[in-house]
Chains A and B, each alone.
Chain A
Amino acid sequence: MAYSDKVIDHYNNPRNVGQLDKASTEVGTGLVGAPECGDVMRLQIRVNSETQVIEEAKFKTFGCGSAIASSSLATEWIKGRTVEDALAIKNTDIVKELSLPPVKIHCSVLAEDAIRAAIGDWKKKNSVAETANAAAVAH
C-alpha cells in the first residue's frame, strides 16, 4: 500500500519515543490494543498538576506504520495542551492529518484511545473527578 508523506515522515522520524516513570503521580499511562490484534500502543503523559498542562508525552507502539505515525502525531499534538484540550482530539483529526485510508482508520482510533487511557490514568491517580472536569470544559 502507498503511504502518505506524513506517515512516512513520522515512521522515519518518530517523535517522542520513550517512556516516563509509570509510578510517578504526575504521569498517566495508557496501554491500549492487544498483541493478538497486531497493535499495542503505550502513550504516557506528564501533567503539571497546577496548570493541568501536559508538559511531556512519550509513546511506544507495536503496529503498522500508520499506527506508529498516529501515536507519534498524537504525542506531538497533546504536548502543551491541557488535559481537557487533549481530550478534544478525535481520531478523525488524525485520519485527516495523515491521509489514512479506510483500512487504517482503526490505527487512529487506537491513538485516540491511548490519549484517553493515559489521561484517565492520570486522573485516577490524582483523584480528579471526571464529571467536575466535564462541567468545567462546558463553558
Chain B
Amino acid sequence: MGTVTSNVEVPVGVSLPIYMDNHATSPLDPRVLEAMMPYFTSKFGNAASRNHSFGWEAEQAVETAREQIAKLIGATSKEIIFTSGATESNNLAIKGIAEMYRERGNHIITQVTEHKAVLDTCKRLEKYGYRVTYLPVKADGLIDMEDLRRAMDDKTILVSIMAANNEIGVLQPIREIGKLCHEKGVIFHTDAVQAVGKVPVNVIADNIDVLSLSGHKVYGPKGVGALYVRRRNPRVQIAAQIDGGGHERGMRSGTLNVPGIVGLGKACEIAREEMDSEAAYLRGLRDRLKTKLESELDYVHVNGSMEHRLPGNLNMSFVYVEGESLLMGINDIAVSSGSACTSATLEPSYVLKALGLGDDVAHSSIRFGLGRFNTQAEVDYVADKVIDIVKKLRELSPLYEMVKEGIDLTKIQWAAH
C-alpha cells in the first residue's frame, strides 16, 4: 500500500509554509507596522504626561486611534477603553458589570461556544455567588432566541454572546439579541474579536452596549485590544478591575501601550476602508476551497451554519481521518484541528461537541482561517494537498474501510478504554 507523503506540485508564486490560521492570529499589515514604528523610537512619550510635547504627541496619537476604532464600529471615541487584548476586555466587561450592578441582580446569560475568556470568567463569578445560564446552540451553531428570552428573569443583569465564533466562524444574531436586551433593560456585551473588521458591526444598529475587540485578529499587533462601553441610552458603568493611576477614565489603569494602540487604530482604519472588498475576496477563496474539497472527497462535513458565517472561515470534518494525523501530512500548511489528539487535555473541541456532533466528527475537523494575504494559488495548493493526504490516510483507516463495506459503525461494540 502507498505512502502518506505527498507529491502535490507547489504552484508558482506560492511559498511554503502557507499560513491559513487567521482566527488564531493574523500577520501584521505592513501599513500598520509603518504607522507604529515612530512610536517605538522618537515618539516614545507617555500619553499621560501633560506637561511636555512628548506626552502631547503620544496623547494625540492615542486619540486618533480611539477615533479610528470608534468609527469602525459606529461608536464615539470617548466610548473606547484600551486594554491588553480581548481576554482582558472580556474580563473587564463581565466582572466589571457584575460588580457594578450587583444590587440590581446576580444573573448572567452566556452560551456554550464562547471563548474561554468569557466562559472561565463566568465560572469564576459563579464562585462568588452569581448565577450563570449557559445557553445551548443549535446544530448550526446559533443560539435559539426563544431560549434566550426564556432564560431572562428579573435578576438578569448581563447577556454576553459573541458576534462570531473563533472555531466555526458562525455569526450570532447580535442585532436581535441586543434588541431583546434593550427591551428587558439588560446590558448586552459581545465578544466581537472575530467579527470586527470582517463583517459590519455597528454598536447603534446592533444594539450593543459593551464590545470586546483585539488587535492581532485584524492585522494589528498582539497585546493590545479595546473595550467599547456605551455612554448613553443606556449609560453603562463598569467597575475597574485594575486599580492604579486612573487612566482610561478610571476604568483601566496603566500606562498606555502607545505603539500598540497606534497600530490597532491603523488596523481598524484599513479594515473600515477595505472590509467590503476583502469580504467578497475571502468569500470567493473560501467557497473555492470548499467546492474543491467537496468535489473530490466523500464523507466531508461542514461544521456550523454556512449562511451565518465569517467570509474567511471554513471548518470541515474529513470523517474517518483523525485531525492530528491529517495536520502531520499537510505540515507545510498552518491550520488547526478540533481533534483531541492535538490538545493537551486530549478532549475534542467543546465548540464542535456543542453542535451535537459525534466526537468522531470533531476528531476529524480542520479549521481553515483565510485572511487578507492568502491567494488563490495558495487555496488551490491547500485543496490539492488536503485531498491527497485525506485519500492516503483513508487507505489506512479501518473505519473508512468498514463504512465502505456497509458496516454501521454505531452498531459495533467498541471497547471503551
Within the complex, what minimum Cβ distance (angstroms) separates B321 from chain A?
Answer: 7
Instruction: Say yes or no: is A138 at the interface (Cβ < 8 Å to chain B).
Output: no
- Cβ–Cβ < 8 Å partners of A133 in chain B: none
Query: Are A41 and B398 in touch, CB under 8 angstroms?
Result: yes
**Residues 172-207 of chain B, each 1 if its beta carbon lies under 8 Å from chain A, else 0:** 000000000000000000000000000000000000
Query: Are B4 and A40 in touch, CB under 8 angstroms?
Result: no
Instruction: Say yes or no: is A28 at the interface (Cβ < 8 Å to chain B).
Output: no
With known contacts A17-B1, A19-B401, A37–B359 Cβ distance under 8 A: yes
**Residues 318-335 of chain B, each 1 if its beta carbon lies under 8 Å from chain A, else 0:** 001110110011000000
Instruction: Say yes or no: is B10 at the interface (Cβ < 8 Å to chain A).
Output: no
Give the residue name and chain of the B residue nearest to A18 (CB): B1
Instruction: Say yes or no: is A39 at the interface (Cβ < 8 Å to chain B).
Output: yes
Q: Which of B144-168 contact A (CB under 8 A)?
A: none
- Neighbour of B358 across the interface among A33, A36, A39, A63, CB < 8 A: A36
- Neighbour of A64 across the interface among B322, B358, B399, B412, CB < 8 A: B322
Instruction: Say yes or no: is A121 at the interface (Cβ < 8 Å to chain B).
Output: no
Instruction: Say yes or no: is A12 at the interface (Cβ < 8 Å to chain B).
Output: yes
Query: Are B396 and A68 in touch, CB under 8 angstroms?
Result: yes
How far is it, in angstroms, between the C-alpha of A102 and the C-alpha of B77 when the chains are bound?
50
Give the residue name and chain of the A residue nearest to B339 (CB): A38
- Cβ–Cβ < 8 Å partners of B321 in chain A: 62
With known contacts A36-B360, A38-B348, A11–B401 Cβ distance under 8 A: no
**Residues 23-61 of chain A, each 1 if its beta carbon lies under 8 Å from chain B, else 0:** 000000001111111111110000000000000000011
- Cβ–Cβ < 8 Å partners of A42 in chain B: 398
How far is it, in angstroms, between the C-alpha of A64 and the C-alpha of B327 when the chains are bound?
9
- Cβ–Cβ < 8 Å partners of B299 in chain A: none
Query: Are A34 and B348 in touch, CB under 8 angstroms?
Result: no
Query: Are A60 and B3 in touch, CB under 8 angstroms?
Result: no
- Neighbour of B399 across the interface among A13, A17, A40, A110, CB < 8 A: A40
Q: Which of B271-330 contact A (CB under 8 A)?
A: 320-322, 324-325, 328-329
Give the residue name and chain of the A residue nearest to B344 (CB): A103
Query: Are B415 and A64 in touch, CB under 8 angstroms?
Result: no
Within the complex, what minimum Cβ distance (angstroms) separates A3 from chain B?
Answer: 7
Query: Are B417 and A110 in touch, CB under 8 angstroms?
Result: yes
Instruction: Say yes or no: is A80 at the interface (Cβ < 8 Å to chain B).
Output: no
- Cβ–Cβ < 8 Å partners of B363 in chain A: 35, 38
Residues of A in contact, count (CB < 8 Å): 34
- Cβ–Cβ < 8 Å partners of A39 in chain B: 322, 341
With known contacts A11-B4, A14-B1, A36–B322 Cβ distance under 8 A: no
Instruction: Say yes or no: is B340 at the interface (Cβ < 8 Å to chain A).
Output: yes
Instruction: Say yes or no: is B409 at the interface (Cβ < 8 Å to chain A).
Output: yes
Instruction: Say yes or no: is B60 at the interface (Cβ < 8 Å to chain A).
Output: no
- Cβ–Cβ < 8 Å partners of B346 in chain A: 103, 106
Query: Are A62 and B398 in touch, CB under 8 angstroms?
Result: yes
Instruction: Say yes or no: is B5 at the interface (Cβ < 8 Å to chain A).
Output: yes
Instruction: Say yes or no: is B416 at the interface (Cβ < 8 Å to chain A).
Output: yes
Scoring B321, B325, B340, B415 by chain A CB atoms within 10 A of each residue's CB, the highest score goes to B325
How far is it, in angstroms, between the C-alpha of A35 and the C-alpha of B321 when the chains are bound?
10
How far is it, in angstroms, between the C-alpha of A37 and the C-alpha of B346 when the chains are bound?
9
How far is it, in angstroms, between the C-alpha of A39 and the C-alpha of B329 when the chains are bound?
17
Q: Which of B333-376 contact A (CB under 8 A)?
A: 339-342, 344, 346, 348, 358-360, 363
- Cβ–Cβ < 8 Å partners of A19 in chain B: 401
Query: Are B344 and A38 in touch, CB under 8 angstroms?
Result: no
Within the complex, what minimum Cβ distance (angstroms) separates B5 from chain A?
Answer: 5
How far is it, in angstroms, between the C-alpha of A138 and the C-alpha of B9 when the chains are bound?
56
- Cβ–Cβ < 8 Å partners of B320 in chain A: 62
Query: Are A64 and B341 in touch, CB under 8 angstroms?
Result: yes
Query: Are A68 and B325 in touch, CB under 8 angstroms?
Result: yes
Instruction: Say yes or no: is B380 at the interface (Cβ < 8 Å to chain A).
Output: no
- Cβ–Cβ < 8 Å partners of B128 in chain A: none
Q: Which of B390-417 contact A (CB under 8 A)?
A: 395-401, 409, 412, 414-417
- Cβ–Cβ < 8 Å partners of A64 in chain B: 322, 324-325, 328, 339, 341-342
Within the complex, what minimum Cβ distance (angstroms) separates B294 from chain A?
Answer: 21
Within the complex, what minimum Cβ distance (angstroms) separates B4 from chain A?
Answer: 5
Query: Are B417 and A63 in touch, CB under 8 angstroms?
Result: no
Query: Are A35 and B328 in touch, CB under 8 angstroms?
Result: no
Within the complex, what minimum Cβ distance (angstroms) separates A40 from chain B?
Answer: 6
Give the residue name and chain of the B residue nearest to A35 (CB): B360
Give the residue name and chain of the B residue nearest to A109 (CB): B417
How far is it, in angstroms, between the C-alpha of A109 and the C-alpha of B415 when the chains are bound?
13
How far is it, in angstroms, between the C-alpha of A38 and the C-alpha of B362 when the chains are bound?
9
Query: Are B417 and A113 in touch, CB under 8 angstroms?
Result: yes
Query: Are B415 and A32 in touch, CB under 8 angstroms?
Result: yes
- Cβ–Cβ < 8 Å partners of A34 in chain B: 414-417
How far is it, in angstroms, between the C-alpha of A106 and the C-alpha of B144 when the chains are bound?
39
8 A-B interface contacts by CB (under 8 A): A13-B5, A14-B396, A33-B417, A34-B416, A37-B340, A37-B359, A41-B398, A62-B398
18 other contacts beyond A39-B322, A65-B328, with CB at 8 A cut-off?
A8-B328, A11-B4, A12-B3, A12-B4, A14-B1, A17-B395, A17-B396, A33-B417, A34-B415, A35-B363, A38-B339, A38-B359, A39-B341, A61-B396, A62-B396, A62-B399, A64-B328, A65-B325
